Structure 1
Amino acid sequence: MQKRVAEMFAGVGGFRVGLENLNTGWDTVWANQWEPGKKAQYAYDAYVAHFGSSENYSNEDISKVDKSAVPDFDLLVGGFPCQDYSVASTKAKGIAGKKGVLWWDIRDMISAKFPPFVFLENVDRLLSSPGAKQRGRDFGMILYTLNQLGYGVQWRMINAAEYGFPQRRRRVFIFAYRNDTKYYAKVSQEPQNEVVVRDAPYNKSLPINPKLTLEKEIDMASYKNILDFSDNFTFKFENTGTMHENKIFTAKYESSYQGPYQTLDDILLPEVDDENLFIDAKEGRLEKFEYLKGPKRIPRVSADGHEWVYSEGGMAFPDAGNKPGRTMLTSEKSVNRSTHVVEDKKTGRLRFIHPIEAERLNMFPDNWTNTGMPNNMRYFTMGNALVVGVISAIGKGIDDIMLEENESKLDEFIPAKSIPEVNHVDLLLNLEFTE
């Protein structure tokens, strides 16, 4: 089958770089990147600088994009934010999702184009959000939606550093496949614990211990409609699992990777000539970092007069060079607890990481973001990006799956909204967004 890709929430192109690094014929036929509320669209400009301009590269609000006009594709990819995916009834007795929640734009794209495969990324807290009162509801809503659209799903929460990559970055990766694919026919009939350890695309290059723990299941068919699901679903998702025909299986896995590891020292430049990167170049920064990264016990008083103590453990200062870097945030290089502070290789002075080093933590080529954006935006875009090597690793498994597909059969796919046994899918597909 063809390997045409559509990329939503493209950023500076992490999914595309990861797939194209494989040199196995991936062809991005459409992409969208839009930074809301920003006059300058630096990420989109970087995307075009590297991949060229195209009428099929969109720099507009995704909610305004005509999804039906997007060129046909075989794999939808994208990293989207963790948001509140609840729905509610409206005064007009319709169903409404929260306005601006980007998952519904992904759902709209899938329902408009029905690609054979979908490959998405999100933060690890997606598995437990929105919190203790209804833990797992948001991720459950994603599975519920994909099930009603006619897809099976596998997910895995992956810490990039556990597989030798240079950053301790935990992200959830979601792989969905239409129910007319050979892959769906195969894995939906197998014991799901065996699917997780044997047939998942993640396992090609990201091996796991075959002994799973905390295995459990739940059936979504017990919920009478999407409102019932939104109001009442709660479930503790573990770090891997599957969903086929309403049935969710989840378990906890551990990495069995035994290869080499990249460390923070491995990605540091041998010499940095930007004096502003050095902590002691500005008075008071060193003392501020020592406080922020040190242990704390701070007495506090709540609004009702209750006295309590806020405690916070200390962290390595400077960051340990013999370990992978910590999770990089969009606030990198600001003076705060989460910012990396490293020991300069040439001078031994403490400093912020360089924008090239931020790119290396995510395994982008050097100077990937050096396309006219200011340095603070280079850090910001890398804080929003993903570890390219993880995409390549999972992409190898998706490559194998796509090679086995029968293209002529996929052309005959019947959209889920036409399947009579799904008795409330029209309700789901006709969600309207209200204030």
Structure 2
Amino acid sequence: MTYKFIDLFAGIGGFRLGFEKVGFQCVFSSEIDAHAREIYFDNFGELPFGDIREISIKTIPNFDILLAGFPCQPFSIAGEKKGFNDIRGTLFFDIAKILEYHQPKVVVLENVKHFKNHDHGKTLNTILITLNKLGYTTNWALLNAIDFGVPQNRERTIIIGYLGDIEFDFNKLKKVNHKKLKDVLEDNSEEFEYLKENEYTLIENPKQQMSGLIFAGYRNKNIRVNGTRPDTQHLSRVHKQPNRIYSSQGSHPTLSSQESAGRYYLLHNGKVRKLTLKECYRLMGFSDDFKLIGSKGKLYNRVGNSIVIPMVEEIAKQVKEQLFNKDYALQYSLKPKQMSLLDLALLCSY
């Protein structure tokens, strides 16, 4: 049986690629950014619907899974009421309306690392409570792309809900040994942009951090004076991410959706250069035959706003194994239980 999904806040299709690799079928997509929609069409032959707020819910085909890398909006009245009243006016409200009407078996949501702390945790709790009220058993985790075969230290909050009494077990996700940045670099390219030796400073004996990063040096940009403490002015060069240089023997920090100039510098084979656009897409798990159209600035924005495909693929494998497997359901479905003191405390805090 082929299970179907819809791809909301679809971007350039990272979620879709991961789930399609496992055999799931996309039947509907939505994305508001015009450039992202162009790329999506060129690669999938399908133009996503635009603004999610203008979707006629009844026209969405039947589906089994809802995927959404939704924006984190302020939940202005979160904590005063519960359920739909807490999310009205946010884009998550549109997701919840679709879930209420279609009642798919599974929902998979993705957001940035610090989403779990947004509004002191109230936003995450509001979403979990809303999903629970819609009949979904939920679980969430903070996952790092570096554990799924790409040399990028990129942490994301993942929420998974099942319409029933099975709780998704994130511990069953299969993780792999960390790759190094050098493993995804191009051998040669006309796009290589090298820095001159007087444009950067390398540090002696750089050490690998717990995250896998090896900070190797910094660009010799102007020192910022305003707002710095005495004797720390030189650190202003290091504090700005676009000035930092990382060794290809380690991993790479999170690609940013705000970095339209693609100022990602690495030390490789004794020289310092920028990552190429193709290398950035490789860091997200995109294949070299993925079609890229538009200006470089927009393409850097798109890749920084996407999701790591190998991580999604592993999530999709476990969604299939855990939530669409009758034998698994019989063994691992949750037994009825009384509300825990922690659950009660969370509800009382609203």
Measured against the shorter chain, the TM-score band is 0.7 to 0.9
Q: Name the SS for the 1:81 alignment partner.
A: coil
Structure 2 match to 1:343: 267
Q: Does 1:81 align with 2:71?
A: yes
Q: CA deviation at 1:298?
A: 5.2
Equivalences for 1:112-123 in 2 at 5 Å? 112-123=101-112
Structure 1 match to 2:32: 34
Q: Name the SS for the 1:112 alignment partner.
A: helix
Q: Does 1:105 align with 2:94?
A: yes
Whole-angstrom CA distance in 2 between matches of 1:75 and 1:21: 15
Q: Which amino acid aligns with 1:342?
A: L
- How has the CA–CA distance of structure 1 residues 300 and 342 changed in structure 2, closer, same or farther, with 3 Å as cutoff? closer
8 A contact 1:202–1:397 mirrored in 2: no
Structure 1 match to 2:174: 205
Whole-angstrom CA distance in 2 between matches of 1:299 and 1:332: 24
Whole-angstrom CA distance in 2 between matches of 1:368 and 1:143: 35
- Equivalent residue in structure 2 for 1:400, among 298, 321, 339: 321
Q: Which amino acid aligns with 1:205?
A: K
- How has the CA–CA distance of structure 1 residues 359 and 290 changed in structure 2, closer, same or farther, with 3 Å as cutoff? same
Structure 2 match to 1:146: 131
- How has the CA–CA distance of structure 1 residues 399 and 12 changed in structure 2, closer, same or farther, with 3 Å as cutoff? same
The normalised TM-score by structure 2 is: 0.76
- What do residues 370-420 of structure 1 show as CA deviations (whole Å, max 9, x unaligned)? 2x21111111111001111101111111111243249xxxxxxxxxxxxxx
Q: Which amino acid aligns with 1:32?
A: S
Q: CA deviation at 1:286?
A: 5.2
8 A contact 1:202–1:394 mirrored in 2: no
Structure 2 match to 1:318: 245
- Number of aligned residues: 305
RMSD, aligned α-carbons: 3.5
Equivalences for 1:32-71 in 2 at 5 Å? 32-35=30-33, 41-53=34-46, 57-71=47-61
Whole-angstrom CA distance in 2 between matches of 1:319 and 1:88: 41
Structure 1 match to 2:161: 176
- How has the CA–CA distance of structure 1 residues 98 and 150 changed in structure 2, closer, same or farther, with 3 Å as cutoff? closer
- What do residues 328-352 of structure 1 show as CA deviations (whole Å, max 9, x unaligned)? 00234638xxx4202355xx54222
Whole-angstrom CA distance in 1 between matches of 2:86 and 2:53: 15
Equivalences for 1:24-423 in 2 at 5 Å? 25-35=23-33, 41-53=34-46, 57-87=47-77, 95=85, 97=87, 99=89, 101-130=90-119, 135-179=120-164, 184=165, 186-187=166-167, 200-201=169-170, 203-206=172-175, 259-274=176-191, 277-280=193-196, 290-291=219-220, 300=227, 314=238, 317-332=244-259, 334=261, 339-343=263-267, 348-370=270-292, 372-405=293-326
Structure 2 match to 1:11: 11
- What do residues 262-297 of structure 1 show as CA deviations (whole Å, max 9, x unaligned)? 11111111112126x33459xx9759x6256x9x89
Listed as ranges, the gaps of 5+ residues in structure 2 are 202-217, 328-350
The normalised TM-score by structure 1 is: 0.62
Percent identity reads 25
Whole-angstrom CA distance in 2 between matches of 1:76 and 1:202: 22
8 A contact 1:356–1:367 mirrored in 2: no
Listed as ranges, the gaps of 5+ residues in structure 1 are 36-40, 188-198, 207-258, 302-306, 407-435
Whole-angstrom CA distance in 2 between matches of 1:139 and 1:79: 14
